[in-house]
Every structure is written in C-alpha cells, then in structure tokens.
Structure 1
Amino acid sequence: MASAPQAAPLPLFYNALEPLSSNAHAAFRLRTMEAAPFLATQHAIPVTVDEFIHAQRSMPIVFTDGDDSIPIALMGLNEGVNVFVDNGGKLIDEGIYVPAYVRRYPFMLARLTPDAQELSLCFDPTADAIGTFDDGQALFTGDQPTEVVQSILQFNEMFEQAGMRTANFMKELRELDLLMAGEVSIQPEGAEQPFIYRGFQMVSEEKLNDLRGDQLRKIQKSGMLPLLHAHLFSLQLMPNLFEKQVRQGKMPTPQLAI
C-alpha cells in the first residue's frame, strides 16, 4: 500500500499513482484489458487469505522470507518466468485463477498524504487501459462517478478488507510458530542434478500436528485451519509448474531458488 502517491515506494506493477477525480479525469474511459504484459515476467503475486481456496487449485501458495512475510501465489518457479500467460501477458488457459492483486490494476486505494486517515481511489496513469479514448466505458457523467467507478471502488475496498484479514492471519501464524524455511527438490528423469528451490517459507506439518488442543480449537473456530490445509495442498502443484516450464522451453538451471 502506497502512503503517498508519487513519493512512497510504489507497489508491484505500478509505475505511478494519481488520484482519480471528476475534475481532472472527466473525459477518461476504461478499456477492457485483454492481456497484462506486466505479468509476463512476474513469477510471484501477493494473495489474500480470501483467495486461498480458489488459488490453490491453480498454483502453489507459499510465504515470503522475513519477519514481515506475506502469502504469494507462484505462477512460475524461477525469476522472470510465468507459465500461465504468453509473452504478451495473455492467459494461456482461461480457467486459471487470476489473483485479485492483478485484477485490481490499474487501480488501488492509497493515502494521498502520510497522515491521511482515509484511502482514496488512485490509478496508474501509465496504464494503457485508462485514458481519453473514443471507446471504452466512461468513468464520469458530469461530476458524478459512473457505476463502473463505483464497482471498481467496491472491489478495491473488499481487497483492502481482505488485506487486513490476511495481516491478522499472518500475525497468528507467527505467534503459533508454524512457519519454516521451505525447500522443494525436483529430480527430472535423465537430469544429473535435482532442481532445488528455496527462498520461501511454508507451514510445518509437524508443528501443525503438534498444536495443543486449545490452539487447534482456536484455529478451527477462526477458520484458519482450512486455509492452512489449502496452502499445504497447493504445494503438490510445484512439479506441475516445473513441467509447464519445461514444455514452454523455460527450463531453469539446477540449484536456482524461487
């Protein structure tokens, strides 16, 4: 989340942030994005806990390294590799789950000043999907936002709420000390060395099974347990990603990390 458009470090994919307003953008329209070129070389996308159940059917969910770890969905096992889109960023399989982080682009909620209490709807002015086009959906009628903008705002508000739930989930995960350093070794047939992937965290099944009864009841009641299982089940897709990379000619070098 950017605390000040144009000043704070920008989130992944965003080149700039500008507040959306009826004064400055009265004639702006929004085109449907048929492809996301910025996604073609991105292998890891942030996801919220609200997405675990859907995302785990398509791609592995792991956690970044460090004390401020966040959940990410892997769309490839190596830097610069995304097996779900072509070189132009168009989905190869329309049935694949696309993380909400990607779907909200080029919009997001941000604080206009560091001390601002409210978040404002902003957009990336460098995006090809928004501008003064002859086609596309109007963003304003006079000085009033259209249903398109209202829908975008609602989606981004839901995303922010999911982000807060994710932060609480991660806090509890750390308090329970369930995370451990992740490592996946894949030995393709005929390869002299295995391909070893590190640089991420995962839930320790041993620690999860050793939770006290009161701790287990707590995460069952909170709805956390199914999310942990979704994460663990999703790890079975690691070899699938590897196979997709091989089929697409994106064979990595042994011993590379995520």
Structure 2
Amino acid sequence: MSTQLLIYETAVPVSSERHRKHAIEPDKGYGFARRIHTVPLTAVEFPLAAAEYAIVFAQNGEEVVPAVVLGARAGENLYVKDDASWNARYIPAFVRRYPFVFSTRDDGQAFMLCVDEACQGLNDEGRGQRLFDDEGKQTAYVDNVVRFLQEYRTQFIRTRAFCKKLAELKLLQPVQAEFTLAGGRKMSLNGFHAIDRKQLKALPAETLSQLAGTDELELIYLHLQSMRNFASVKDRLMLAQPEAGAADTAPAAEERERTAAVVH
C-alpha cells in the first residue's frame, strides 16, 4: 500500500503464495488503536455510535468525513483500556475491520484485499482462523472479511454523498471543544466541523422535508445529540490521568493544550 491508514503499519496484499500457512488469532485486543484519537465513521453507524461517542466532521483532503472522538490529545485513545480491551459497547467498523483493508490501484476501480503483517494475532502456526486451506484456496473466513469490507465501502460512498450535501447546504462550521479541568487547567480540541444549528433552522421547509425523507435529518440530529459526549471524553481523561485535573502551579500547567482532531 502506498499510504498507510492510521492503524496499519505494514499492510500487504493477501496471497496464497505469501500467506498460505497464516492465520488470525482472535482476542488479541485493540492495542493497535491505542494511539489514535479519532477514527472515521460511516453514516449507518450513527445510531449506535451517537450513544457513546462525540461524532464530528473532520477534514480529509478536500472533503469532510464523519469521525468519532476517542481522545483529548493526539496519540491518546481513551477508549482502549490497559489490558487492550475496548471500553465501550459499540466499536466503530473502521476498527473492527483490522487487520484487513482494501487498497485501490491508480484507476480507483480495482480493489485488493490487504492484511497488516504487524498484526499481533497474525501467525504461521495455525492459531486461529486460517486465511487459506492446504490447497491454497481462500477460506470462508476470508470470504466473510471480503463481504464485510465490500459493505464498508458501500456505506463509505453513501456517507460521502451525505457529507457532500451538508457542504452544499453550508451547514458545517469549524468548532472546537473546550475542557476546564480541576484546578482551572484548560484544554481545547479543534480542527473539526459540526452542524450549525442556526443554518439548519434557516433551511427552506422543502429542503428539510427532503432531508427527513432520506433519513439524513435524523443523522444530523444524532450528530448534534452526540456532541454532549465530549463530557465523557473529559471524564475518561480524568480517570486515565488523575494528575491532569490536579492543581499545578508550574508554568506549563497554565498553557492551553491544543490538538487537531483530523483524520489522516
């Protein structure tokens, strides 16, 4: 792969020549996601994700894409526990598809299944789910992975259309989340967009009706409701690093820390 995506270190095409004896051992946890503080989200995930995460819109090149906020600072995921388990009921599909991912050729038409060879659970000792059988035929496990990734891409394309409509309606505006920790220390998380409520209310009735008819209005309100979960991000930060909320008279403690919530 020419570009590695957030959690992928050495993703290479899956092939019977290279991976005939390889298997994926389950239950190795989510340590691979420990250093990411946002991940992309598809629109179909909004109903489940909105209950536990703050959903924002992050700049990705010339586009904006939905993303869930996992931490208050770059390189910090407050939803991965010390034992590498995920500390939430819903796990974003972007994370669940690991260690597999589709890569595209230059024409953007052909898709190739890749696996991250840095995955802790990948082994050539037969532990877990085999990628190929002894004859070199792709297993049912890999067939299911491919179907999952195909559905993920379908939902990604639909989500892109949804975000394009939000941009055309001029509903997105840059915002930042500010946290005031115990002792008065302040942090702000910026670099993302959110729906402007005033712009939403100013839309013509016909446009609102169209958004309601396509269920996109529901997605908008799920996003707005989810913004309350920034309080959960703060609470998780306090639990993970109690000293972050302690009074500190050192000059560095008076500085405002800023991190970008951007999907790379």
TM-score, normalised to structure 1, is 0.88
Q: Deviations over 1:191-219 (max 9, x none)?
A: 2x543332211110111111111211111
Judge which range, 121-130 or 64-73, deviates more.
64-73
Distance of 2:206 and 2:159 partners within structure 1: 22
SS at match of 1:219: helix
**188 and 194 in structure 1: CA distance in 2 versus 1, 3 angstrom threshold:** same
SS at match of 1:182: strand
- The residue aligned with 2:4 is 10
Q: Partner of 1:197 in structure 2?
A: 189
Matches within 5 A, 1:1-258: 5=1, 8-65=2-59, 67-87=62-82, 89-91=84-86, 93=87, 95-111=88-104, 113-115=105-107, 117-141=109-133, 142-188=135-181, 190-191=183-184, 194-249=186-241, 251=244, 255-258=256-259
With 210-219 and 22-31 compared, the bigger mean Cα shift is at: 22-31
Structure 2 portions without partners, runs of 5+: 246-252, 260-264
Alpha-carbon offset, residue 149 of structure 1: 0.7
Letter in 1 for 2:39: I
Task: Give the Cα–Cα distance (whole angstroms) in 1 for the partners of residues 220 and 204 of structure 2.
Answer: 16
The sequence identity of aligned pairs, in percent, is 25
Counterpart CA distance in 2 for 1:28 and 1:249 is 39
CA distance in 2, matches of 1:67, 1:110: 20
Partners in 2 of 1:195 and 1:127 — Cα distance?
33
Q: Alpha-carbon deviations, 1:14-35, whole Å to 9, x = none?
A: 1222211223322111110431
Q: Verify the 8 A CA contact 1:43 1:79 in the aligned structure 2.
A: yes
**CA deviation after TM superposition for structure 1 residue 185, in Å:** 2.9
The whole-number CA distance in structure 2 between the counterparts of 1:188 and 1:125 is 40
Change (3 A) 1:190 1:149: same
CA distance in 1, matches of 2:220, 2:108: 35
**Superposition RMSD on alpha carbons, in Å?**
2.0
What CA distance in whole angstroms lies between the structure 2 residues aligned with 1:237 and 1:45?
A: 15
How far apart, in 2, do the equivalents of 1:116 and 1:23 lie? 25
SS at match of 2:113: strand
Structure 1 range deviating more: 229-238 or 27-36: 27-36
| 1:49–1:166 Cα contact (<8 Å) kept | yes
What is the total number of aligned residue pairs between the two structures? 248
For structure 1, which runs of at least 5 residues remain unmatched after alignment? Answer: none
How far the C-alpha of 1:226 sits from its partner, in A, is: 0.8
Q: Is the 8 A contact 2:23 2:127 kept in 1?
A: yes
- Does the 8 Å contact 2:186/2:257 carry over to 1? no
Following TM superposition, by how much is the alpha carbon of 1:181 offset from its aligned partner in structure 2, in angstroms? 1.1
* TM-score, normalization by structure 2: 0.86
In 1, are the aligned partners of 2:102 and 2:114 still within 8 Å (CA)? yes
Once residues 143 and 183 of structure 1 are traced to their aligned partners in structure 2, the CA distance between those partners, rounded to angstroms, is 51
Asked if 2 retains the 8 angstrom alpha-carbon contact of 1:35 and 1:90, the reply is: yes
Q: Which has the higher strand share?
A: 2
CA contact (8 A) 2:175 2:194 kept: yes
1:56: Cα distance to partner?
Answer: 0.8
CA distance in 2: counterparts of 1:131 and 1:194, whole angstroms? 45
